[in-house]
Amino acid sequence: MKVSLAIATIGRTRELKRLLESLCQQTHKDFEVLIADQNPQGFLDATLNTFASHLHIQRIRINPCGVSNARNALFKLFTGNIVAFPDDDCWYAPDTLEMAAKFFQQHESAECAVGIWAHDDSALFCSNFYNFDTYAMNYRELFRRGETYVQFYRHSAVKAIGMFDPILGPGTGLPYGCGEDTDYLLRAAGIGLVWRVPAIRVFHPLPNTQNHDLAHKWRSYGRGRMFILKKHKLPLWFKIANVAYPLWRAMIEGKGTWRYRWEMFRGRLKGLLDI
């Protein structure tokens, strides 16, 4: 089964190189790399030239427009049976695409698979400890660790779901700095079961919770979450629980993340009160 990998990227070379290196190591070789390049002319040339003889890469250049619009620009290029949306700073285990292809081959009625992620490729994460059974995710679980970069879809499902909501996600200039991933997954749940597949493994850095200069960005995360809760008409009790959640997490995590969680709380509260 061929896999189409849609990557929106801006301002990163080292991280994108790590992702492309991990793609070179894939045990499943039938895939294409589609890149929506939002960088200045020539910014990625040296990086992509390094992999030109190793990977099938197709790049389109677009003006900075946000992650959702950038991904949407790639939809017309998909030729794979499976579509995935890796972040430009994530990377794959050597068998990530093999496990995704195997899942869809063995489950002919499945439309969406959600893998698992960790912040590094430690021995524990690569061990059989994580190889518990595949299961259908419930609605609450769609909000937990369902990031875009662990989502894999049949091409037919992507056609049915449609494109990403251009209002959501980083880089839009709007106050909704996240939520495009959860929104897409909730829409996927509207066409069929969403399967948690622990055999599909992806790596991604932990969020930066220490740089207080990112406070505005953290607040935008909170507002993005509340936007999708309203968009999908979730009950008031669930919205209030989401507003309170960062404060609860702050009590568990301790002082190290207090500012991060406080700004997230502020963003969610603002999002709840927005009319």
The domain defined by 3-203 folds into Spore Coat Polysaccharide Biosynthesis Protein SpsA; Chain A (3.90.550)
Alpha-carbon distance 77 to 130, whole Å?
A: 34
Q: Using the predicted structure, report yes or no on whether residue 105 has a pLDDT greater than 50.
A: yes
| Per-residue confidence (pLDDT) for residue 220, from 0 to 100 | 96
Report whether 149 contacts 202 (CB < 8 A). Answer: yes
pLDDT band at 122 (very low <50, low <70, confident <90, very high): low
Alpha-carbon distance 201 to 91, whole Å?
A: 9
pLDDT band at 155 (very low <50, low <70, confident <90, very high): very high
Q: Taking the alpha carbons of 266, 215, 39, 118 in that order, is the dihedral positive or negative?
A: negative
Specify the range with the lowest mean pLDDT, choosing from 26-35, 134-143, 233-242: 134-143
Domain boundaries, the chain: 3-203, 212-273
pLDDT band at 129 (very low <50, low <70, confident <90, very high): very low
**Mean pLDDT, residues 180-208:** 94
| Per-residue confidence (pLDDT) for residue 126, from 0 to 100 | 55
Pairing status of strand 82-84 against strand 112-118: unpaired
| Per-residue confidence (pLDDT) for residue 274, from 0 to 100 | 86
Question: What six digits make up the tokens of 164?
Answer: 């990403």
**Virtual torsion, Cα 187, 188, 190, 191, nearest 10 deg:** 140
pLDDT band at 125 (very low <50, low <70, confident <90, very high): low
**Mean pLDDT, residues 103-125:** 86
Q: Using the predicted structure, report yes or no on whether residue 130 has a pLDDT greater than 60.
A: no
- The pLDDT tens digits of the residues spanning 45-100 come to 999 999 999 999 999 999 999 999 999 999 999 999 999 999 999 999 999 999 99
Question: What six digits make up the tokens of 102?
Answer: 């195997």
Under DSSP, is residue 6 helix (H, G, I), strand (E, B) or coil?
strand
Report whether 187 contacts 144 (CB < 8 A). Answer: no
Share the mean pLDDT of the chain: 93
Question: What six digits make up the tokens of 192?
Answer: 């069929």
pLDDT band at 275 (very low <50, low <70, confident <90, very high): low
Alpha-carbon distance 152 to 185, whole Å?
A: 10
Give the distance, in angstroms, between the CA of residue 90 and the centroid of all CA atoms in the same chain.
Answer: 9
Q: Is 252 exposed, middle or buried (0-12, 13-18, 19+ CB in 10 A)?
A: exposed
Alpha-carbon distance 33 to 22, whole Å?
A: 12
pLDDT band at 139 (very low <50, low <70, confident <90, very high): confident
- The pLDDT tens digits of the residues spanning 244-269 come to 999 999 999 988 899 999 999 999 99
Q: Using the predicted structure, report yes or no on whether residue 38 has a pLDDT greater than 70.
A: yes
First to last CA, the chain: 46
